Structure 1
Amino acid sequence: MEKSPKEQLVDTLKLPKDMLLGASILTMTGNHELWVENYKGIIEYTRESIILQAKTGQISICGCGLVIDYYTNEDMKIIGTIQCIRYL
């Protein structure tokens, strides 16, 4: 896949992609905690599935007993048994 001029500039200058391109950052602790930064909104929210809108697509989190423990406009913490994370 060809990179856009903006992506090429970010790569060349070694700048942080999350800040300049709005890329999402996912940080997991085991399979029971997930921090998501730089998301745009919540599309679906059930105990088995959470789908988030990111700048460049969607992020699907699947598991059991999923709960959004904390969220702001910029980040959120998901707890439960996380079985799968997919980019749609």
Structure 2
Amino acid sequence: MGDKRPRRPGLLEKTAELLDLPADALTGLPRLELVGDGELRMENHKGILAYGTEEIHVSGGAFVVKITGHDLELRAMTGLELLVTGRITQIQLG
């Protein structure tokens, strides 16, 4: 069904590493910031795929960010970033 091979870094990612630049700024990769277990900020998302109080799936372009927890809530969302609050127990990239 899905390809389980590890994702190889592309030209832009290699260039960012070579120039010592943040990869998310150059390649559009998502940037995640977890504050404790109650707040997750994500920049450069590509949209919400699934939403519930115990699980939220967000498109990160090349992969899906799966947020699991309790009382999860999408508190804010713009075209570039979003904020998830609640008790976050797991973040999974797939």
Moved over 4 A (4+): none
Q: Quick one: which amino acid aligns to residue 6 of structure 1?
A: L
Q: Which runs of 5+ in 1 are unaligned?
A: none
Any idea what the Cα deviations from partners look like across 1:32-85, whole Å, max 9, x if unmatched? 111111100100000000000012210000000000011101001111000000
Match in the other structure for 1:71:
77
TM-score (normalizing by structure 2): 0.86
Name the stretch that deviates more: 41-50 or 5-14: 5-14
Are 1:3 and 2:3 counterparts? Answer: no
Counterparts of 1:1-88 in structure 2, within 5 Å, are: 2-88=8-94
* CA RMSD across the alignment: 1.3
Output the CA distance in 2 between the equivalents of 1:28 and 1:16: 17
Q: Which runs of 5+ in 2 are unaligned?
A: 1-5
Offset at residue 16 of structure 1 (A): 2.1
Partner of 2:53: helix, strand, or coil? coil
